[in-house]
Chain A
Amino acid sequence: AQSVAQPEDQVNVAEGNPLTVKCTYSVSGNPYLFWYVQYPNRGLQFLLKYITGDNLVKGSYGFEAEFNKSQTSFHLKKPSALVSDSALYFCAVRDGRSGGYQKVTFGTGTKLQVIP
């Protein structure tokens, strides 16, 4: 079984400050990890992924995430938050051993509120 935990329901950060949205995962094989963002009344949009290689991955809109195998974490980060970053963020995992048609499991989501 695979699972994702996002321990914070909401994260508040002042505009211009760095932000971190936390994620830990559990999976039997090698993890394929993802971050998606959801704006109100919209579908989920892909931000970035980790499959292998460099532990720090960069994605869209200046976001990055750090894979930490020993802590089974994949925290989302951004050096300087924008008000427009306010949205719902989902971490997701898939077992890298499985076929590409197998399910991706999502966390419960973290609402990011960037305060002007």
Chain B
Amino acid sequence: EPEVTQTPSHQVTQMGQEVILRCVPISNHLYFYWYRQILGQKVEFLVSFYNNEISEKSEIFDDQFSVERPDGSNFTLKIRSTKLEDSAMYFCASSVPSGANVLTFGAGSRLTVL
């Protein structure tokens, strides 16, 4: 069964450093998303991406965040200057271009900011 793959599974970084989280969505999916989950609790929407541009973003997704689909395969989330409160599990998801919008999630990338 097709999977959304995410790397790295766990990254530890110092506050103020840049981090790039990578995702390979399912090949025939056209909609891409990043969500985050802090301490195994609420799953928070960050951003959705379609047709090579951001479709929607939340208030969390401020100027320190950016997304990119550099090569038609990978979908990346960049955090320019990490803060302690950015520590979370970051999930990439993708979906097919249909009305149902069932999201397929990756296993997540755990980010720890020290």
Residues from chain B with Cβ under 8 Å of A100 in the complex: 31, 95, 97-101
Residue numbers in A under 8 Å from B42 (CB-CB)? 106-109
Q: Are B56 and A101 in contact (CB under 8 A)?
A: yes
- Count of A-B contacts judged by CB separation below 8 Å: 74
Number of A residues contacting the other chain (C-beta, 8 Å)? 26
How many chain B residues touch the partner (CB < 8 A)? 32
Q: In this assembly, does B25 line the interface, its C-beta being within 8 Å of a C-beta of chain A?
A: no
Contact of A44 among B45, B48, B103 (CB under 8 A): B103
Determine if A34 is an interface residue (Cβ-Cβ < 8 Å): yes
Indicate if the CB atoms of A104 and B101 lie closer than 8 Å.
yes
- Report if A43-B55 is in contact (Cβ < 8 Å); known contacts: A34-B102, A88-B40, A109-B42: no
Contacts of B97 in A (CB 8 A): 100
Q: In the complex, which residues of chain A have a beta carbon less than 8 angstroms from the beta carbon of B107?
A: 41-43
- Inter-chain contacts of A109 with B (CB < 8 A): 41-43
CA distance A44 to B55 in the complex (A): 22
- Chain B nearest Cβ from A86, distance in angstroms: 14
Contacts of A44 in B (CB 8 A): 43, 91, 93, 103, 105
